[in-house]
Amino acid sequence: MKRKTFLKGMLGAVALAAMPLGAVAQEAIKIGEINHYKRMAAFAEPYKMGIELALEQVNEAGGVLDRPLEFIFRDDQGEPGEAVKIAEELMTRDGTVMLTGTILSNVGLAIASLAGQRGYVYLASEPLADSLVWASGNDYTFRLRSSTYMQAAMLAEEAAKTDAVKFATIAPNYAYGKDAVAAFKENLLRLKPEAEFVAEQWPALFNIDAGAEAQALERAKPDAIYNVTFGPDLAKLVREGGDRGLFDGRTVFGLLSGEPEYLDPLGDEAPEGWIVTGYPWYDLNEGAAGEFVSAYQERWDDYPRLGSIVGYMTVQSIVAALEKAGSTETDAIREAFKDLTLDTPMGEITYRAIDHQSTMGAYVGTTTVRDGKGVMVDWAYKDGADFLPSDEEVRKLRPAN
């Protein structure tokens, strides 16, 4: 992506100052990035590659506030306690001006709590639990990615269009899974009051007994299934469910199931006909979305995953906030994030001041197998702003407001 295109797509109306000749010697602005690089490498590595691509473009274009931008990457092993320990080190020892990162919601919630206690800005790039910005929200935590509620509402909208009345759900037994089921139920029952939920399965995260779960779902005889499992749990459920005929004659709605990180490992065993949220990079050829895909492929000789675009947009968001703040002071950054609007490869997004949730949307489509791999077809991009509760509802969900 050339400099002109990058500046337009990355910062929109936010202009980068030209870097003076002596700027290369200036101290870098450091961002603390905490993630599960070993435990969830399939997502975290593409995410890091997206960050690195954006950092290269930022620094080649002049940096931020006439200074280079630098990320300090740390691995928390997917453990909340370790993540908090690392966050303390990044804040006190490593000179970072803010924190970002995490995938697992329980880890993101732990860092968010610390950020609120310590008065330190945290951009939660990936964790999806709704409580991050609502029940447990605080003035220093912001979230980039479209939340559990938003993506579940998108799938509920699709489910309401079908003839299905009896629904079964399966989700990992932790904050993200609980939120995902609650949000789907709330939105589906609002759109389709006659809907019934005849079974709920709660396997332990990354420890699913897929055969037993598939058997329990089959016994409930649902018309449709809402699936929230991901990673290795998803792969096991797809294989066991397929072998047992669980998905025959039933529509499955899959949260995250269309993401390349989780769909690609299934190869030609990928499910067909599931309605999912995901990232159809292979069809994104035009505009800012296509420019990002091309730049990523040129830089890494690989195709982007959903994590890649989240990582890229994480840097975009931080750069835009720093430029708006005109400072690296915590309070200035925090205020800059409120109602911050920027252009991204997924369109314009805004960090809502009322709950600190961005309006980043998601792609919704149907799975099929193409050339031996699972892909999304008949997809559409859903603007996240259309799937968020009203300000009045948010005030009830977020007591601090």
Domain of 126: which CATH number?
Answer: 3.40.50.2300
Q: Are 159 and 135 contained in the same domain?
A: no
Q: What is the pLDDT of residue 401?
A: 53
Q: Are 19 and 109 contained in the same domain?
A: yes
**Residue numbers of the domain that contains 205:** 149-280+363-397
Q: What is the mean pLDDT of residues 172-181?
A: 91
Closest CA to 364 of 281, 293, 278: 278
Q: Are 226 and 367 contained in the same domain?
A: yes
Q: Are 42 and 184 contained in the same domain?
A: no
Q: Are 256 and 384 contained in the same domain?
A: yes
Specify the pairing of strand 373-382 against strand 141-143: unpaired
Q: What is the pTM of this model?
A: 0.91
How far apart are alpha carbons 373 and 31 in whole angstroms?
37
> Quick check: helix, strand or coil at residue 327?
coil
Q: Are 197 and 311 contained in the same domain?
A: no
Number of domains the chain is built from:
2
Residue 351 pLDDT > 90: yes
Q: Are 60 and 120 contained in the same domain?
A: yes
Q: What is the mean pLDDT of residues 197-226?
A: 97
Q: Are 265 and 154 contained in the same domain?
A: yes
Band the pLDDT of 400: cuts 50, 70, 90.
low
Q: What is the pLDDT of residues 29-54, one digit of tens each?
A: 999 999 999 998 988 999 999 999 99
Q: What is the pLDDT of residues 265-324, one digit of tens each?
A: 999 999 999 999 999 999 999 999 999 999 999 999 999 999 999 999 999 999 999 999
Band the pLDDT of 175: cuts 50, 70, 90.
confident
How far apart are alpha carbons 81 and 87 in whole angstroms?
10
How far apart, in Å, are the Cα atoms of 326 and each of 332, 333, 337, 376? 8, 8, 12, 41
Helix, strand and coil content of the chain, in percent to the nearest 5, comes to: 45, 20, 35
Percent of the chain with pLDDT over 90: 89
Specify the pairing of strand 224-227 against strand 196-201: unpaired
Q: Are 259 and 307 contained in the same domain?
A: no
Q: What is the pLDDT of residues 130-167, one digit of tens each?
A: 999 999 999 999 999 999 999 999 999 999 999 999 99
Q: What is the pLDDT of residue 20?
A: 42
Q: What is the pLDDT of residue 19?
A: 43
> Taking the alpha carbons of 25, 13, 314, 55 in that order, is the dihedral positive or negative?
negative
**H/E/C letters for each residue in 25-77?**
HCCCEEEEEEECCCCCHHHHHHHHHHHHHHHHHHHHCCCECCECEEEEEEECC
Q: Are 15 and 106 contained in the same domain?
A: yes
Band the pLDDT of 8: cuts 50, 70, 90.
very low
Q: Angle formed by the axes of helices 330-337 and 306-325, to 10°?
A: 120
